[in-house]
């Protein structure tokens, strides 16, 4: 079995490396602080994939996981580091329906777990069953558990007023996440389940509004693109007109210039080849002088 597990994970790592080589994945070695100042405490249940549920990318948020999304001493250690070392301002307790911590058989668990792994004080206690229960911290109501974790963590707000701590619950059957306001009024999870159909209808209306906003965004984007294309076409048409007019003007200028040059050349040729001749008047007494006529052909 270990070979199968190794094949699954190491082959997966080989695929990851292949994607890196192809430029499809990037190993981010610099950002230790998440993109958003958020820490999510959720359950270790494999059905809870925070990145899929909220469509996040790796590196967007801190994620802590344990059995039942409980604030234990070790969880608190990580939370305090996130707040005071990495300036996290939002903490989300993300519980879920159908949590395995509500189904633990403590008698069976007590028989299976070796005593050497329990704390020393617990092994010496008189009420061993109660102490084992305190060690594993099972619960019977997911809503109550979320509220208890919130109450415990909100003590931090006394020391850090800008800290925001909220609760959410995830439905593993539908994929919906419900905000705290939707289940705050219910005392027990069963009360929430009884109203679940009504709550789901409200969610559907919210989803419809969201979907319409997406469609509007797509339409507006399309219209914007269409207008942009029309603007580009009109601009091109105007430029073509200007170019056409410029070419026409250019032709006229060249034609006129050529005409003027031709006229000037003709004039220059005439003046150069056949200049005007002014004959002086000469008077000789009693002498008849024959003056030849010069014919000048002017073009």
What Cα–Cα distance (Å) separates residue 215 from each residue in 54, 211, 228? 20, 6, 19
**Going edge to edge, which strands form the sheet with 62-66?**
62-66, 38-43, 90-96, 164-170, 177-179
- Which CATH code fits 31-194? 3.40.1050.10
Q: What is the pLDDT of residue 222?
A: 58
pLDDT, tens digit, 9 for 90 and up, residues 142-160:
999 999 999 999 999 999 9
Distance CA 215, CA 26 (A): 32
Q: What is the pLDDT of residue 241?
A: 57
pTM: 0.69
Tokens for 228? Answer: 């942009």
Question: What's the confidence (pLDDT) of residue 179?
Answer: 94
Q: What is the pLDDT of residues 108-147, one digit of tens each?
A: 998 899 988 888 766 565 577 888 888 999 999 999 999 9
Q: What pLDDT score was predicted for residue 132?
A: 86
Q: Tell me, what's the pLDDT at 258?
A: 52
CA distance linking residue 67 with residue 76, whole number of Å: 14
pLDDT of res. 89: 96
- pLDDT at res. 208: 92
Rounded CA-CA distance 297/175 in Å is 106
Intervals of the chain under pLDDT 50: 253, 257, 261, 264-265, 267-275, 277, 279, 282, 284, 299
Question: How far apart (Å, rounded) are the C-alpha atoms in residues 61 and 235?
Answer: 46
Instruction: With beta carbons less than 8 A apart as the criterion, state whether 139 and 145 touch.
Output: yes
């Amino acid at each position: 079995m270990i070979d199968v597990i190794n094949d699954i994970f190491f082959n997966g790592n080989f695929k990851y490396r292949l994607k890196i080589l192809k430029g499809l994945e990037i190993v981010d070695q610099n950002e230790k602080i998440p993109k958003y100042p958020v820490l999510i405490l959720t359950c270790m249940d494999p059905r809870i994939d925070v990145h899929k549920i909220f469509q996040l990318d790796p590196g967007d948020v801190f994620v802590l996981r344990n059995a039942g999304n409980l604030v234990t001493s070790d969880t608190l250690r990580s939370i305090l580091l996130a707040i005071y070392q990495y300036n996290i301002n939002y903490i989300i307790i993300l519980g879920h329906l159908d949590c395995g911590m509500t189904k633990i058989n403590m008698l069976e668990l007590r028989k299976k777990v070796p005593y050497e792994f329990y704390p020393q004080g617990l092994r010496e206690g008189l009420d061993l069953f109660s102490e084992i229960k305190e060690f594993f911290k099972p619960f019977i109501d997911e809503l109550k558990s979320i509220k208890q974790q919130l109450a415990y963590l909100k003590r931090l707000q006394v020391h850090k007023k800008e800290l925001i701590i909220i609760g959410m619950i995830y439905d593993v059957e539908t994929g919906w996440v419900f905000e705290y306001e939707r289940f705050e009024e219910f005392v027990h999870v069963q009360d929430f389940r009884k109203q679940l159909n009504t709550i789901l209808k409200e969610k559907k209306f919210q989803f419809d509004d969201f979907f319409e906003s997406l469609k509007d965004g797509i339409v507006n984007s399309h219209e914007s693109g269409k207008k942009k294309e029309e603007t580009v076409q009109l601009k091109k048409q105007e430029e073509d007109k200007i170019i056409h007019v410029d070419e026409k003007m250019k032709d006229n200028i060249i034609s006129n210039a050529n005409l003027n040059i031709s006229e000037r050349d003709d004039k220059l040729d005439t003046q150069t080849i056949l200049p005007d001749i002014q004959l002086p008047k000469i008077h000789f007494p009693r002498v008849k002088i024959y003056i030849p006529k010069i014919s000048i052909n002017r073009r």
